[in-house]
Structure 1
Amino acid sequence: MASSNGSPRDGQGRFAEVAVFVPVRPHWHQGKAESPSGEQPLAERLQLFHYGIPDDLQSRLVSGHVVRVPFGRRTVNGVVMRRSSTSPVATRLILDLIQDKPVLGQHQLELAGWMAAFYGAPLSSCLSLFVPPGLLGRNQDRKPMGPRMDWYLQLAVEDEDLVPRLLQAGRATRPVRLLETLDGLRQATGRTELSRTELQEVAGKGYGPALKALADQGLVGGVGGTVHFTLEPAVVVQARLALRGSGRWLLPLQALSGMGGSAWKSDLPGEFRSLEIWRRLQEYRLVFLDRRRRPRDPLAGAAYPRTRAVPLTGEQGAALQAVLAGGNGSNDASHRAWMLQGVTGSGKTEVYLQVLEACLDRGHQAIVLVPEIALTPQTVSRFAGRFPGRVSVMHSGLTPGQRFDVWTDVLDGKVDILVGARSALFAPMPQLGLIVVDEEHDDSYKQSAELWGGATVFYDARRVALQMSKSLPVRLLMGSATPSLQTLHRVKQGTVRLLRLPHRIHAAGRGVVRAELPPIELVDMRQELMAGNLSVFSRLLQDQLATALERHEQAILFINRRGTRTFVMCRMCGHVMECTACTNVLTWHSDIERLQCHTCGREFPNPSVCPACGDRRIRYFGSGTQRIAADLDKRFPGVRVLRWDADSAGGQGGHTRIMESFQAHEADVLVGTQMIAKGLDLPKVTVVGAVAADVGVNLPDFRAAERACQLLIQVAGRAGRSERGGRVVIQTYNPDHYAIRAAVRHDYDAFCRAELEFRQQLRYPPYRRLARLIVWDRKQEQARRHAATMMTALEDARMSLDSGEAIELIGPAPPFHAQLQSWWRMQILVLAEDPVRLIERVPVGPAWRVDVDPVSTL
């Protein structure tokens, strides 16, 4: 971008180029102007519209401002990308600013433009990632979200002074003054009765009505002759408060005192929230009343145990020094991006923490990305315990108000370390110096294209973070026991540097000692079947579970739910039904009762006998957590089982609740899906079982082997993370698969070498880029027609594209889940050095989703 925000001088022009937040289509033009051409990416050019700048904004408007503009018959929001001195069309004027200050900085505008070009996405969708929550509501006339304001109350006196001060407040009527006079006399002289003459001397003339009022309330007696007043002091105090009208304020003040002497008005009991009460008490100087911003802090009330840095091993120290030494005055991005490959339990987190400490000492801020919300509490606990008061969180599980306040605090420099899922990457940190990507291999860093509606830019936070390390610049430290093949390929290319932690360690006193990875035992479930064991648990796994339960230890059972009940396999020989044309695994579709290839679209009948061995023991594969939990209960009566999957973790805080329950040993066995493989540190777990390893290996996706190997190694790493040690059992019908063999040996490097060689032969990613075009329609036949039309357009565009590279088109065919949310889907795959160059040459209608660099083709 040529402009720079912060000063209206960018372009010194009377016009602004604005990216509007509406789904602009390529055939939309401004006035009679043709689609603009230039060096900007197509996705940007097609969404920039010229507007005139009104006189009152000429001196204030800069790049990065969010503005309201007329768009057709509507009023919409947009971001000023730059100012210009000319416009190719007659323009309408910008209406006003949404906020006085620019919302996006220049580097954010440039990064959004890069994302639009790299992912072939609408520019407005990329820009919206950087905009604070609530600023771009659907109702353009609605006031944008702002800080939450509330009244803050503080007691102005000590607790023991509340009643004496209230006795001076309220209305000082004649009955009040008379009662106070009588009570004062009693306290001074001890007398409890007075004659009429004496009463007139102390109370003055005209005391009769006041005396009668006290008598009517039973506060004095003997009005006709000698006046008696013998009430207990406490009763007199209550009477004085009641007569003054200040007694009604005692309970609110006591409630405030019970909350520590200060509180937000909205936190008080409902009967004490009237602002009028507190304004009157402020008049009597009993409270301080102040309207201020009330932070919606997602970590409010949380307490984290303090931790201190521990001595590093030589390997950890070398990794730390490499990161700290890199990036100093170098324009080479490879000096600012590292991949920390460390086996499970090797101390990667301690390296992160000490790199962060050095970053903060230099006056910088940091972003720590985790792949799932479920990991956020554990990560926050570690980081907040080391850096108290300097950590906050950002993820989709927060309320819009919480996200807005965190965004504001980050912008104001009140947050030094931001922990969160992929969206935290776009927080406006003015002094960003470090990005940490934990569990780098995890697919959750890629925005999913599997749901209709919502996002239209399917970005990968890992790739965006790498781009940020090049352009800002900031240090990027990624970590995993099983790095993605894409990142390892970048290591070979020299754009990322590799650091290794090859040994597991345990805490020992004030230091650490080296430990062994848990042994992994492979069980051939075909042999179990031949031995008459029809259970989902092998005999070895049953024995290991029984031993762990006897020792009051914990166990984890992992189920790969991806592809549940979709592929067909012979239980006798392990043969999986494959397409005869392209050797991809076939998927069973119950609606048509046929096997289908999701690459070429061919269909096959379900065989009654195995084509490899002739056996009839053929079944659909997949088991859910409910079934496993039920089988455990039958085999081990009384066992406490906890499920962790999308269903059981539903609702806010569900993941945290499950993890804390298991950490507190409220359950003996945790049965879960991919979530339990994501970096959890559970020292009481000594047994891990992978119930059906074949589910992940046999999916019709070229990344299936990579994903399966990563999952098995990661889930195995949950065992033996303390001095108790641990054992891992992997059950499979395909024990000779290279991904499973590599996982059993803890030899991820060997798997990577074999898999990268295989992909290089086929020119699959990372050796070429892949794009996935998915069309959605309520009618299956209509989806097929859309896909056929798109395929023709892509083939024509490929013919006209004089690039000299081989562009491969695959499809159209139904994806793995051909029907989702009552929508029918068809997909086309594009393999090319830059698939966006081809895709931007064809009309992509609103029914299509373009997923560039997908992590799955299922």
Structure 2
Amino acid sequence: MHCGPARLHSKANRYSASGARLAANGLAHRLTGRDQVAQPPDTGPAGGLEPTAERSTVMASSNWSTRDGQGRFAEVAVFVPVRPHWHQGKASADADEQSLAERLQLFHYGIPDDLQSRLVSGHVVRVPFGRRTVNGVVMRRSSTSPVATRLILDLIQDKPVLGQHQLELAGWMAAFYGAPLSSCLSLFVPPGLLGRNQDRKPMGPRMDWYLQLAVEDEDLVPRLLQVGRTTRPVRLLDALDGLRQATGRTRFSRTELQEVAGKGHGPALKALADKGLVGGVGGTVHFTLEPAAVVQARLALRGSGRWLLPLQALSGMGGSAWKSDLPGEFRSLEIWRRLQEYGLVFLDRRRRPRDPLAGAAYPRTRAVPLTGEQGAALQAVLAGGNGSNDASHRAWMLQGVTGSGKTEVYLQVLEACLDRGHQAIVLVPEIALTPQTVSRFAGRFPGRVSVMHSGLTPGQRFDVWTDVLDGKVDILVGARSALFAPMPQLGLIVVDEEHDDSYKQSAELWGGATVFYDARRVALRMSESLPVRLLMGSATPSLQTLHRVEQGTVRLLRLPHRIHAAGRGVVRAELPPIELVDMRQELMAGNLSVFSRLLQDQLATALERHEQAILFINRRGTRTFVMCRMCGHVMECTACTNVLTWHSDIERLQCHTCGREFPNPSVCPACGDRRIRYFGSGTQRIAADLDKRFPGVRVLRWDADSAGGQGGHTRIMESFQAHEADVLVGTQMIAKGLDLPKVTVVGAVAADVGVNLPDFRAAERACQLLIQVAGRAGRSERGGRVVIQTYNPDHYAIRAAVRHDYDAFCRAELEFRQQLRYPPYRRLARLIVWDRKQEQARRHAATMMTALEDVRMSLDSGEAIELIGPAPPFHAQLQSWWRMQILVLAEDPVRLIERVPVGPAWRVDVDPVSTL
């Protein structure tokens, strides 16, 4: 296909509702592999596509093939902006409005003669697209084209960047999530290859000069004395030094000097005298230089003395170094080229790895004997998936209580995987968990582990991606994006802390991503379509995964008992007892502190025993809101419908959504009264109250404020592990799988936070969070104790957490959701529109709702499709953008959404983890 009609990229080119539905109807059925012939889109009255502008479509079904033909044409998915990219309220000038039908298309291009024998599916190419030049991915070759074509301009890289299974997985994601195909493909492309400025040279390996000494340290000076100019002063100095060594004297007559230096040495002698190297009285020459000074003088006279310092610098760095690591005065390439000519160094330009683990040392660990339960889980995973096409034989959910040894099972499954010549990806939900996970895995498999997450520089990500593609990495540890690394021999995917919401790409903020995928679901798809085992683990699995267990898609493995190390083996341990404190009763008893009397006693005991404690509160800052006692006005962000939080360290009010800061009000902005009061507690206040109540206690805070900057999470965790602090106060980060054996007391200061949010998953998240937090206590022979403080002690999620009975909670919650046909019993899609004007956002939402209602009425599937809204979400305004949302509950919500035009102001989030 040529680059398409110019009208496609004009803001005037908008589908009518009927035209869009007709176009998307045929296209989407082909995308999802349904048995319906796709019809070319009609020209709608609002400027639809011309009938001649036929497009290929990506078949996301399992029978779609990227097998290359021998044709002269290539079908290319181009990387064009499909929605505005906003940065601080400014939209890019080349933002295009496209329907789902347009965003899932391929374009035909001719293949130039010089690429006919080289071009295959998976190549990233540069192509003309209207008046622009853009990058794209070759999906397949074909022998015919329905229209006249333009030629591919060039290959971005000589080798294909994507393999066949990656192309097919991207097509499946585009259909499953209703996302632009180019956005799905970009997840698999190495960092920097598809920058905003696509005319710019793509990122490549970092090249540097590598230097090595060519001689031993003791031979540096003798070799330098052989280079440079051999002048008469140099020969005379050598002669004088030889006379001194032969006679033991420092005074020589002119006759003696003439015998060794010959006649005509007068000018040379004067030159040495002018430099202060010799003296003389009458006919006697004085030569009193120390041997070291003689060497320096000889080097200076030869002109080679300037080479000594850079050589000594290189020697001081172990005899080899990268040029860019040398002191600034020695980085001139001319210096080292000259020294290479003298045979003193080896100089080589090579790729310099940007290894994120360079310089890190990890203590070696060995496999420990497994318990019977661990061994059974290991054997189940190793026995499954061999020659079976049934996905249930390749996907497992390892549900183990906190401290039950799930990580050791992962490690031994990985060992078996590597022994079979396969590679593995280990996903963790947060960057903060990566260092601890890497330490465990790199200690067991030294030299075979690398890491990939958003905290790396683009250059580091590119090099890790390249090393993975070249087969230099056997185990890749990282956040959700690591799932798309090009592992050539992938055999295992491990998803640790499977319940964590961060595995789902968020649609909460405007700009950036346009495909809101769930790494857990994508990993499951990979286990279905590839010979890859999937092992997920959690003490509190998501209800979605437990529902898949009921359906037989995933198999359940259990580790019901906690264990801890004892000598060379392990022993069974008890889960820490949890005590529930009704804070209403504390208030009635006169305790106005944020700490209950029980929690105060437990903290005091732990501190007396030199143990550690964790206090959890899922709010940062000092006070959670500021209110006028006269009129009730609560201070809110001017750009968001979000309550401001008081931060005492900076003495400012801060919005935790957009980051804006405001001065502390002295009078109420609504009524002018001065009776301003501060309410609630955050991590900063808890830390401050600990200092007052327990003088001398060492408190460490772990939240988004304290962990900012490179390596912040690692710094905090290592400090607490080294017992540089007695109490760790933190938000939900402390609940994420950390193994802290010195912690004996855990307190949930405000367990009610999040329980009553207007979201159908609020109870699930609350129960998971409390059980995970409680699991940080008692992970050694010291045992542990947990205190949960609440104003709502009868809530079923809190009650289940106190009993460590997650199964009972799941049964009750799944029954509730089944009655209402909430996920996982139906799928949910969330459509969010953003606009600067509130009324305009409402109009967009009303128009979309009408279009969805029309499509729902036209579908004759017998399926119960429920539309909820339009209504403002929990935060109706974010970063000065007004929002409205529509919820679609259906067996396949994409089937409905793909039939309506979706403009650039909309976000389509399929299977969202929250509706707030």
Q: Is the shorter-chain TM-score for this pair beyond 0.5, marking a shared fold?
A: yes
Quote the Cα distance in structure 1 between the aligned partners of 2:215 and 2:660.
82
* 1:325-363 Cα deviation digits (max 9, x unpaired): 111111111100000000000000000000000111111
Contact residue 507 and residue 516 of structure 2 kept, 8 A: yes
Quote the Cα distance in structure 1 between the aligned partners of 2:552 and 2:535.
15
**CA apart distance, 1:566:** 9.2
Aligned in 2, Cα 1:593/1:228: closer, same or farther, shift over 3 Å? closer
Aligned in 2, Cα 1:103/1:531: closer, same or farther, shift over 3 Å? same
Quote the Cα distance in structure 2 between the aligned partners of 1:162 and 1:581.
67
Deviates more, 1:125-134 or 1:821-830: 821-830
**CA apart distance, 1:177:** 1.5
Quote the Cα distance in structure 2 between the aligned partners of 1:434 and 1:579.
46
**CA apart distance, 1:605:** 28
Aligned in 2, Cα 1:15/1:562: closer, same or farther, shift over 3 Å? farther
Quote the Cα distance in structure 2 between the aligned partners of 1:485 and 1:160.
69
SS for the counterpart of 2:800 is helix
Aligned in 2, Cα 1:583/1:755: closer, same or farther, shift over 3 Å? farther
> Does residue 307 in structure 1 map to residue 351 in structure 2?
no
Aligned in 2, Cα 1:523/1:59: closer, same or farther, shift over 3 Å? same
Quote the Cα distance in structure 1 between the aligned partners of 2:97 and 2:333.
59
Quote the Cα distance in structure 2 between the aligned partners of 1:33 and 1:573.
39
Aligned in 2, Cα 1:392/1:603: closer, same or farther, shift over 3 Å? closer
Quote the Cα distance in structure 2 between the aligned partners of 1:796 and 1:604.
46
Contact residue 868 and residue 888 of structure 2 kept, 8 A: yes
> Does residue 151 in structure 1 map to residue 151 in structure 2?
no
**CA apart distance, 1:48:** 1.2
Contact residue 620 and residue 683 of structure 2 kept, 8 A: no
Aligned in 2, Cα 1:200/1:38: closer, same or farther, shift over 3 Å? closer
Contact residue 620 and residue 684 of structure 2 kept, 8 A: no
* 1:455-508 Cα deviation digits (max 9, x unpaired): 000000000000001111200000000000000000010010100000000100
* 1:12-56 Cα deviation digits (max 9, x unpaired): 222111111113489999999999999999668743111111111
Aligned to 1:190: 248
**CA apart distance, 1:826:** 1.0
Deviates more, 1:726-735 or 1:222-231: 222-231
* 1:783-811 Cα deviation digits (max 9, x unpaired): 11111111111111111122210100111
**CA apart distance, 1:641:** 1.4
Task: Select the structure with the greater relative contact order (CA < 8 A; seq sep ≥ 6).
Answer: 2
Quote the Cα distance in structure 2 between the aligned partners of 1:754 and 1:617.
46
Quote the Cα distance in structure 1 between the aligned partners of 2:859 and 2:127.
37
Aligned in 2, Cα 1:163/1:563: closer, same or farther, shift over 3 Å? closer
Aligned in 2, Cα 1:819/1:579: closer, same or farther, shift over 3 Å? closer
Quote the Cα distance in structure 1 between the aligned partners of 2:913 and 2:543.
11
Quote the Cα distance in structure 2 between the aligned partners of 1:83 and 1:91.
14
**CA apart distance, 1:734:** 0.9
* 1:638-678 Cα deviation digits (max 9, x unpaired): 22211111111111111111111111111111111110000
Aligned to 2:543: 485
Deviates more, 1:402-411 or 1:166-175: 166-175
**CA apart distance, 1:582:** 25
Aligned in 2, Cα 1:26/1:791: closer, same or farther, shift over 3 Å? farther
**CA apart distance, 1:88:** 2.1
Contact residue 851 and residue 900 of structure 2 kept, 8 A: yes
Aligned in 2, Cα 1:2/1:575: closer, same or farther, shift over 3 Å? closer
Quote the Cα distance in structure 2 between the aligned partners of 1:461 and 1:560.
25
**CA apart distance, 1:813:** 1.2
* 1:119-145 Cα deviation digits (max 9, x unpaired): 000000000000000000111111110
Quote the Cα distance in structure 2 between the aligned partners of 1:810 and 1:600.
28
Aligned in 2, Cα 1:794/1:29: closer, same or farther, shift over 3 Å? farther
**CA apart distance, 1:778:** 1.3
**CA apart distance, 1:190:** 2.2
Aligned in 2, Cα 1:853/1:329: closer, same or farther, shift over 3 Å? same
**Identity level (%):** 97
Deviates more, 1:734-743 or 1:17-26: 17-26
Aligned in 2, Cα 1:45/1:844: closer, same or farther, shift over 3 Å? closer
Quote the Cα distance in structure 1 between the aligned partners of 2:329 and 2:664.
69
Unaligned runs of 5+ in 2: 1-58
One of 684, 699, 709 as aligned partner of 2:742: 684
**CA apart distance, 1:206:** 2.4
In the comparison of the two structures, how many residue pairs are matched? 858
**CA apart distance, 1:824:** 1.2
**CA apart distance, 1:690:** 0.5
One of 116, 119, 127 as aligned partner of 1:61: 119
> Does residue 24 in structure 1 map to residue 95 in structure 2?
no
Aligned in 2, Cα 1:443/1:614: closer, same or farther, shift over 3 Å? farther
* 1:271-319 Cα deviation digits (max 9, x unpaired): 1111111111111211111111000000000000000000000100110
* 1:691-736 Cα deviation digits (max 9, x unpaired): 1111121111000000000000000000001111110000111111
Aligned in 2, Cα 1:612/1:56: closer, same or farther, shift over 3 Å? closer
Quote the Cα distance in structure 2 between the aligned partners of 1:88 and 1:35.
31
One of 772, 794, 807 as aligned partner of 1:736: 794
Quote the Cα distance in structure 1 between the aligned partners of 2:370 and 2:357.
30
Deviates more, 1:112-121 or 1:789-798: 789-798
Contact residue 771 and residue 830 of structure 1 kept, 8 A: yes
Alignment of 1:387-466 (within 5 A): 387-466=445-524
One of 671, 678, 689 as aligned partner of 1:620: 678
Aligned in 2, Cα 1:298/1:44: closer, same or farther, shift over 3 Å? farther
Quote the Cα distance in structure 2 between the aligned partners of 1:30 and 1:691.
36
Contact residue 814 and residue 825 of structure 1 kept, 8 A: yes
**CA apart distance, 1:561:** 3.1
Quote the Cα distance in structure 1 between the aligned partners of 2:865 and 2:124.
40
Aligned in 2, Cα 1:239/1:604: closer, same or farther, shift over 3 Å? closer
SS for the counterpart of 2:150 is coil
Aligned in 2, Cα 1:833/1:607: closer, same or farther, shift over 3 Å? farther
Aligned in 2, Cα 1:543/1:4: closer, same or farther, shift over 3 Å? closer
**CA apart distance, 1:521:** 0.2
Aligned to 1:260: 318
**CA apart distance, 1:413:** 0.5
Unaligned runs of 5+ in 1: none
Deviates more, 1:516-525 or 1:558-567: 558-567
Quote the Cα distance in structure 2 between the aligned partners of 1:158 and 1:752.
70
SS for the counterpart of 1:697 is coil
**CA apart distance, 1:399:** 0.2
**CA apart distance, 1:637:** 2.1
Deviates more, 1:700-709 or 1:791-800: 791-800
SS for the counterpart of 1:505 is strand
Aligned in 2, Cα 1:599/1:425: closer, same or farther, shift over 3 Å? closer
Contact residue 622 and residue 647 of structure 2 kept, 8 A: no
* 1:84-121 Cα deviation digits (max 9, x unpaired): 22222222111111111111000000000000000000
Aligned in 2, Cα 1:8/1:506: closer, same or farther, shift over 3 Å? closer
SS for the counterpart of 2:388 is coil
One of 426, 441, 454 as aligned partner of 1:383: 441
* 1:355-400 Cα deviation digits (max 9, x unpaired): 0001111111100000000000000000000000000000000000
One of 324, 335, 339 as aligned partner of 1:281: 339
Aligned in 2, Cα 1:442/1:287: closer, same or farther, shift over 3 Å? same
* 1:762-801 Cα deviation digits (max 9, x unpaired): 0000000000001111112211111111111111111112
Deviates more, 1:577-586 or 1:767-776: 577-586
SS for the counterpart of 2:753 is helix
Aligned in 2, Cα 1:701/1:324: closer, same or farther, shift over 3 Å? same
Deviates more, 1:594-603 or 1:101-110: 594-603
Quote the Cα distance in structure 2 between the aligned partners of 1:193 and 1:580.
91
Contact residue 621 and residue 685 of structure 2 kept, 8 A: no
Quote the Cα distance in structure 1 between the aligned partners of 2:798 and 2:631.
16
* 1:804-823 Cα deviation digits (max 9, x unpaired): 10100111111112111221
SS for the counterpart of 2:280 is coil
Aligned in 2, Cα 1:122/1:404: closer, same or farther, shift over 3 Å? same
**CA apart distance, 1:11:** 2.2
Quote the Cα distance in structure 2 between the aligned partners of 1:127 and 1:219.
73
Contact residue 82 and residue 103 of structure 2 kept, 8 A: no
SS for the counterpart of 1:761 is helix
